[in-house]
């Protein structure tokens, strides 16, 4: 089957401080893996095709603003420039107030 689409599992830490006391849990998504996929393109696929409620930050999409920082498989990375080659686990950036899911309040940096 030469045309079989490879899929990956994307495990995302989900939490909303305004719901359930902000209790976090992981939600898994099965996503097609396209050549050249980045964490940001995988997240975009999820919100456009699977779950519109998932929250994450995107802006410049070229690694300049650093607003899309998150923890990818245990390491802080930029979602827009981090290549995806297999299953991934995504967590919000630690040390900042959580807004929702993968979005944190970075205003404390200024």
Instruction: Choose among 6, 4, 8, 1: nearest CA to 39.
Output: 8
| Residue 11: inside a domain | yes
Domain count, the chain: 1
Average pLDDT, the chain: 90
Residue 46 sits in which domain range?
7-109
Question: For 51-93, what is each residue's pLDDT tens digit?
Answer: 999 999 987 766 667 789 999 999 999 999 999 999 999 999 9
pLDDT given at position 20: 79
pLDDT at 106: 86
Distance between start and end Cα atoms, the chain? 52
pLDDT of residue 4: 79
- For residues 5, 61, 85, 97, the Cα torsion angle rounded to the nearest 10 degrees is -110
Q: Does residue 1 belong to any structural domain of this protein? A: no
User: Which has the closest alpha carbon to 91: 27, 31, 21, 7?
Assistant: 27
Classify residue 74 by burial, with Cβ atoms within 10 Å: 0-12, 13-18, 19+: exposed
CATH number of the domain that 64 lies in? 3.10.20.30
State percent of the chain over pLDDT 90.
74
pLDDT for 101 equals 96
More confident residue, 56 or 1: 56
In a domain, 93, yes or no: yes
């Amino acid at each position: 089957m030469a045309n079989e689409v490879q899929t990956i599992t994307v495990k995302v830490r989900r939490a909303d401080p305004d719901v359930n006391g902000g209790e976090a849990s992981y939600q898994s998504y099965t996503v097609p893996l396209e050549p050249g996929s980045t964490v940001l393109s995988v997240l975009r696929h999820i919100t456009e095709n699977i779950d519109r409620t998932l929250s994450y930050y995107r802006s410049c999409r070229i690694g300049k603003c650093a607003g899309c920082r998150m923890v990818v498989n245990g390491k802080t990375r930029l979602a827009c420039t981090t290549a995806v080659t297999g299953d991934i686990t995504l967590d919000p950036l630690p040390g900042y107030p959580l807004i929702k899911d993968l979005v944190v309040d970075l205003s404390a940096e200024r």
